[in-house]
C-alpha cells in the first residue's frame, strides 16, 4: 500500500479527513498500534474510526496477601490486636486476601466429619473488626453463615443506594432450581458504613481463605465471576487435612485467582516429592465451572487461565540436607542468603519439580516454623532439647508466590505474632487491571467496528446513485462518517 502518496485516492482521503478532524475536533486523537489488512480505502475508514481514545485504560490496585498457620487455635477477642498489627489496615491497601491453615485441630473427627462453619464465621468477624474499626468505620456481623458453596456470584442489590457493595448470592445444591434471592444476612453485611467488605470466603477442614475489598472500589469497578473451589489431597489423596481453597474473580477485564494451600508435612528425604505431587493435583483438580448464567460472561475455568495468580500458604518445604545445628547457627547470624542455598522450594523450582516460572520475593526474614510454643520466640528442639518438644529444623514453611504479568512486589515480610508455632507472612503487591471505558460514547473498540464494515464494493456502489461516480460515493460515505464521529457515535447500519 502506498498511502503516503498524496496523489493516491487513499492519500487524498487521509489528508482531507485529518483536515476535517482538525477543524471539528480540537481533542487529540490516538491511533492504535495495529491496523487490519485490506485495501487503502478501507484502511482509511478503519483509521478514522480508531483515531479516538482507546477503549480501555490501566489502573493500579494494591493487594495484601497473607498466610498463617494458626495450629488449631480458636480465634479469641484479644487476637484482634495481633491481627491489626499483622494487617496494618491502611488506605494504601485495596484488597486483602488472607489464607489460614489449621483453623481447626487436624483430628479424625474434624477431617472426616461434617464441616463446621462457626470457626470460619468467627475468623471473618475478627478480620472485619480489625480492618474496619481501626479506621473508625462501624462493623456489622458479616453473615450468619459463611459462604461455603462451590459456586456463587456477586450482584448489585437494586434496593440499596449506589454506595452499597455487592451481595453474595449462593448457588449451591440447596438453591439449585429456585429463584435467586437476597438474604438478610448478606444485606446486613453491605448496608453498613464499613470500609472493607467481605467478597468471598471458603473453608475446607482447616484450610480457609477470606477476601476483602474496599467498598468504594467494589462500587467503582465491575466485580464479576466470583467463584470458589476446593481440592482435598491429604490422607489417601482425597481427605481435607491437606489441600487448597481457591477464589476466582474478575475486576473489570482482569481475572484473578487466589490459592490458599496446606501441603504435606515432613522433613525426611522424599517428602518434597509428596508436596510436589499435591501441587500438581491442585492445578489439575481446581476448577471454576461455568453455569447457564455465565453464557455471555465467560471466565477462566482453571488456575492458569487467569491473568494474575497468587499462591500462598503453609507449603511445608524445608531446608534440604542441612544439619540442625548449622541451620540454627546461620539463623543466629541472620545469614539469610547462606540459608536460602538449602531452601527446598527454591531447589525444586530450579530443578523443574514445581512452580516453574513462578516468582517469589527475596526472603530477608527468619524461618517461620517451628516455634516452641505460643508466646515464645524460641524454635522447637535444638540442643539440649526440652522434654516433650518435637525436634524440628527451622524452615520457611509459609510462602507467597505469584504468576502473571503486571504484578510488582512492594514488600515481603513476616509478623511477630506469637499465637501459634508459625509466624504469619505477608506480601504487598501493586498490580494493574484493565478497565473497560466502553461506556464512554467517544470510545470504540476495534473488535466492535471491524466486523460491521462491509467490503468496499458493498459500501460504495449503493451510494453512487445513477451517476456511478466512485469519488461521489466516497465523499458521501466520508460525510456520514465525519458527521457521526462528531456526534460521538458511529452506526455502521446507516451506511
Question: How much is the pLDDT for 137?
Answer: 66
Q: Report pLDDT digits (tens) over 360-385.
A: 999 999 999 999 876 788 999 876 66
Q: Residue 289: CB partners within 8 Å, gap ≥ 6?
A: 151, 301
Q: How far apart are CA 408 and CA 405, in angstroms?
A: 9
Question: How much is the pLDDT for 103?
Answer: 96
User: Which residue has better confidence, 389 or 161?
Assistant: 389
Say whether pLDDT at 228 is over 70: yes
pLDDT above 90 as % of the chain: 52
User: Which residue has better confidence, 83 or 143?
Assistant: 83
In 371-482, the DSSP E strands lie at: 398-403, 407-414, 425-436
Least confident range of 197-201, 378-382, 453-457: 453-457
152-156 and 243-251 strand pairing: unpaired
pLDDT above 70 as % of the chain: 64
Pick the CATH number of 56-134+193-436 from 3.40.50.620, 3.10.350.10, 3.30.390.30, 3.60.10.10: 3.60.10.10
Question: How much is the pLDDT for 91?
Answer: 76
Chain center to CA of 411 = 18
Give this prediction's pTM: 0.71
Q: Report pLDDT digits (tens) over 463-488.
A: 444 444 555 655 654 565 445 444 43
Predicted confidence band of residue 298 (pLDDT cuts 50, 70, 90): confident
CB atoms < 10 A from the CB of 115, how many? 15
Indicate the domain borders of the chain: 56-134+193-436
CB atoms < 10 A from the CB of 280, how many? 13
- Average pLDDT over every residue of 414-430: 96
Predicted confidence band of residue 388 (pLDDT cuts 50, 70, 90): low
Q: How far apart are CA 108 and CA 483, in angstroms?
A: 74
Say whether pLDDT at 180 is over 50: no
Amino acid at each position: 500500500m502506498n498511502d503516503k502518496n498524496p496523489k493516491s485516492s487513499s492519500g487524498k482521503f487521509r489528508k482531507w479527513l485529518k483536515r476535517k478532524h482538525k477543524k471539528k475536533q480540537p481533542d487529540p486523537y490516538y491511533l492504535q498500534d495495529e491496523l487490519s489488512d485490506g485495501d487503502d480505502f478501507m484502511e482509511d475508514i478503519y483509521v478514522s474510526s480508531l483515531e479516538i481514545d482507546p477503549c480501555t485504560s490501566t489502573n493500579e490496585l494494591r493487594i495484601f496477601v497473607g498466610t498463617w498457620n494458626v495450629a488449631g487455635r480458636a480465634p479469641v477477642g484479644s487476637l484482634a490486636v495481633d491481627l491489626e498489627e499483622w494487617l496494618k489496615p491502611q488506605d494504601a491497601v485495596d484488597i486483602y486476601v488472607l489464607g489460614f491453615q489449621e483453623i481447626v485441630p487436624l483430628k479424625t473427627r474434624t477431617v472426616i466429619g461434617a464441616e463446621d462453619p462457626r470457626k470460619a464465621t468467627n475468623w471473618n468477624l475478627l478480620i472485619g473488626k480489625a480492618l474496619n474499626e481501626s479506621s473508625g468505620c462501624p462493623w456489622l456481623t458479616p453473615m450468619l453463615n459463611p459462604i461455603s458453596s462451590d459456586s456463587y456470584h456477586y450482584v448489585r442489590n437494586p434496593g440499596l443506594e449506589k454506595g452499597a457493595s455487592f451481595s453474595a448470592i449462593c448457588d449451591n445444591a440447596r438453591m439449585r432450581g429456585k429463584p435467586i434471592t437476597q438474604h438478610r444476612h448478606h444485606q446486613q453485611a453491605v448496608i453498613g458504613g464499613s470500609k472493607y467488605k467481605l467478597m468471598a470466603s471458603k473453608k475446607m477442614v482447616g484450610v480457609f481463605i477470606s477476601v476483602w475489598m474496599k467498598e468504594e472500589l467494589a462500587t467503582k469497578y465491575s466485580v464479576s465471576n466470583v467463584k470458589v473451589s476446593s481440592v482435598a489431597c491429604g490422607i489417601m489423596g482425597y481427605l481435607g487435612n491437606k489441600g487448597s481453597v481457591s477464589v476466582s474473580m474478575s475486576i473489570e477485564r482482569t481475572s484473578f485467582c487466589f490459592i490458599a494451600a496446606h501441603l504435606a508435612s515432613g522433613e525426611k528425604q522424599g517428602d518434597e516429592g509428596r508436596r510436589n505431587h499435591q501441587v500438581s493435583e491442585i492445578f489439575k483438580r481446581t476448577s471454576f465451572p461455568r453455569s447457564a448464567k455465565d453464557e455471555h460472561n465467560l471466565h477462566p475455568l482453571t488456575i492458569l487461565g487467569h491473568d494474575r495468580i497468587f499462591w500462598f500458604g503453609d507449603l511445608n518445604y524445608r531446608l534440604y540436607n542441612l544439619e540442625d545445628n548449622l541451620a540454627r547457627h546461620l539463623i543466629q547470624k541472620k545469614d539469610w542468603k547462606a540459608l536460602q542455598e538449602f531452601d527446598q522450594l527454591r531447589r525444586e523450582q530450579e530443578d523443574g519439580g514445581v512452580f516453574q516460572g513462578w516468582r517469589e520475593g527475596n526472603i530477608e526474614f527468619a524461618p517461620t516454623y517451628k516455634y516452641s510454643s505460643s508466646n515464645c520466640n524460641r524454635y522447637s528442639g535444638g540442643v539440649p532439647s526440652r522434654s516433650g518438644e518435637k525436634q524440628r529444623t527451622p524452615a520457611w514453611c509459609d510462602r507467597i508466590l505469584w504468576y502473571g504479568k503486571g504484578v510488582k512486589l512492594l514488600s515481603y515480610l513476616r509478623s511477630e505474632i506469637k499465637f501459634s508455632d508459625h509466624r504469619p507472612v505477608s506480601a504487598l503487591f501493586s498490580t494493574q487491571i484493565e478497565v473497560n471505558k466502553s461506556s464512554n460514547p467517544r470510545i470504540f473498540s476495534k473488535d466492535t467496528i471491524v466486523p460491521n464494515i462491509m467490503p468496499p464494493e458493498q459500501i460504495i456502489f449503493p451510494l453512487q446513485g445513477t451517476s456511478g461516480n466512485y469519488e461521489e460515493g466516497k465523499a458521501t460515505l466520508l460525510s456520514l462518517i465525519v458527521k457521526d464521529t462528531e456526534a460521538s457515535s458511529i452506526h455502521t447500519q446507516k451506511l
